[in-house]
Amino acid sequence: MAALLRCLPALIVCVCPLGAAAAQGVAGTPTFGWRPRLSRQGSLVLLGVRPSVADSVTRIEGELAGEPLHFEVVGDEFRALGAVPLEAQDSVAARVVIERAGGASDTVIAPLRVRRRRAPRERLHAAPEFVQPPESLSERIRTERELVEEIRRRAHDTPRLWREPFMRPRSSAVTGTFGVVRIFNGVVRSRHLGVDFAGKLGAPVLAANRGVVAYVGDLYFSGTTVFIDHGAGLVTGYLHLSSTLVTPGDTVARGQLIGRVGASGRVTGPHLHWLGDYGKLTIDPLDLVNFDFTAPPPLTSSPGLGAKAQAEPQPD
């Protein structure tokens, strides 16, 4: 990023947070937009940017909520998938840098408005030893958390491996929704960071889309687990399995049988817990299924929204 800041001349385009606005307050500046216009906490967002002179672009990169964006050329614009953190408040910041031939660059900065995710509260009662793991397991839990964080980070290094729409890993009923606040013995302990599907012991679990198996193993909380790296920042996880049919490094196809429903880990009965991540950000995995990846984000020319441009100060 330091190299980008040395590019001369640079243009900052500040886009006000009223939906999928474009930045054309000054002639020749890029247009920028996103979809949906009001993003929900813990959800996907599609960003688009159209440079003023596409032929001169040598590189385009950016970040949203601190996570890298992976832009691809679609017609005369560039598009990237991003995610809104579950804990986001009023807005999240997107920053896109467009490098041009000859060393010039444009920088687009926009706050994306966020709406609250309404989720029910689940009150549970259990013996204390089932709520708080014993201190003797703290090192194992810490090591496993770091392992999962590294899997999520590495997904940014993998190119996009999928082209077909995502599918549900099971066709059965959803028994647990994303974002539910869990209250154990009167104390808020966690949020449900995935979607649960009903299933009898041994029922099939399918890969949601093409990808590379990043991990197969046993974790304290999630039991027998499979993580699939789909590339471009996306990872899906399949938890509490009874058995697996893949190994790390395998390339799996959309709909391929990868394991079977179980009750391993910290659960009370058999089911599939399915999760989705964009880098370190956990999203509602059903967003992967329901999101229209092909519909373009609206790029409008609306100076009346308050777009403005100014010269970016350059370091010595």
Q: Is the model more confident about 250 or about 87?
A: 250
Is 316 part of any domain? no
Which residue would you say has higher pLDDT here, 179 or 123?
Answer: 179
Domain of 276 in residue numbering reads as 121-290
Q: What is the pLDDT of residues 32-55, one digit of tens each?
A: 999 999 999 999 999 999 887 766
Tell me, yes or no, whether 42 and 89 share the same domain. yes
- Do 107 and 169 reside in the same domain of the chain? no
pLDDT at 220 over 60: yes
pLDDT at 108: 87
The tokens for 90 are 């009023």
pLDDT of residue 300: 59
Please check whether residue 42 lies inside any domain of the structure.
yes
Q: With 50 as the cut, is the pLDDT of residue 304 above it?
A: no
Same domain? 246 vs 262: yes
pLDDT level of residue 307 (50, 70, 90 thresholds): very low
First to last CA, the chain: 16
Per-residue pLDDT reduced to its tens digit, 110-163: 999 999 988 776 656 565 555 677 888 899 999 999 999 999 999 999 999 999
Within a domain: residue 153? yes
73 and 215 part of one domain: no
128 and 160 fall within a common domain: yes
Q: What gap in Å lies between CA 76 and CA 293, rounded to an integer? A: 17
Beta bridge partners of 91: 113
For range 176-200, the mean pLDDT:
78
Number of domains in the chain: 2
- Lowest model confidence (mean pLDDT) among 2-6, 185-189, 205-209, 280-284: 2-6
Q: What is the pLDDT of residue 146?
A: 97
Same domain, 263 and 174: yes
**CATH code of residue 211:** 2.70.70.10
Q: How far is 282 from 284, CA to CA, in rounded Å?
A: 7
Residue 14: band (very low, low, confident or very high) from pLDDT cuts 50, 70, 90: very low
Residue 94 falls inside a structural domain: yes
- Is 205 inside any structural domain? yes
pLDDT given for residue 124 in this prediction: 63
Do residues 92 and 143 share a domain? no
What's residue 28's pLDDT?
Answer: 61
- Closest CA relative to residue 103, chosen from 13, 10, 31: 10
What's the pTM? 0.83
Sign of CA dihedral 81, 82, 83, 88: negative
In this structure, are 41 and 138 located in the same domain? no
Q: Counting Cβ atoms within 10 Å, is residue 84 exposed (0-12), middle (13-18) or buried (19+)?
A: buried
Positive or negative: CA dihedral 220, 224, 225, 226: positive
pLDDT higher at 28 or 69: 69
| Statement to judge: residues 178 and 228 lie in one domain | yes
For residues 112 and 68, membership in a common domain is answered with yes
pLDDT in the model for residue 216: 98
The pLDDT tens digits for 72-99 are 999 889 999 999 999 999 999 999 999 8
The alpha carbons of the chain give a radius of gyration, in whole angstroms, of 22
Structure tokens at 156: 């940014």
Task: Tell me: do 211 and 162 sit in the same domain.
Answer: yes
What are the tokens at 10?
A: 């640079």
Domain CATH number, residue 76: 2.60.40.10
